[in-house]
Amino acid sequence: MAERTDSKPRPVLQGGETIDPNSQIVSKLRAFYDAVEQEPLPDVFLDLLQQLDSVEKTRKG
């Protein structure tokens, strides 16, 4: 029997449909991104943004 020479993952059959092996990774990355996106900004970061805004307002006029 010949060995596989390509390194591309093969689709997996599950319940009669083909599933990309990377789909679990994609789903987990999306869930992680969504969770991080919902986290509040730290106060230190908000203070820095306010300082930048005030500097920009001072420079503009």
Q: What is the DSSP letter of 53?
A: H
Confidence label for 10 from pLDDT (cuts 50, 70 and 90): low
Across the strands, what pairs with 12?
A: 19
Q: What angle do CA 9, 10, 12 make, to 5 degrees?
A: 125
- pLDDT of 2 > 60? The answer is no
pLDDT level of residue 21 (50, 70, 90 thresholds)? confident
50 CB-near residues (< 8 Å, 6+ apart): none
Q: The whole model's pTM is what?
A: 0.44
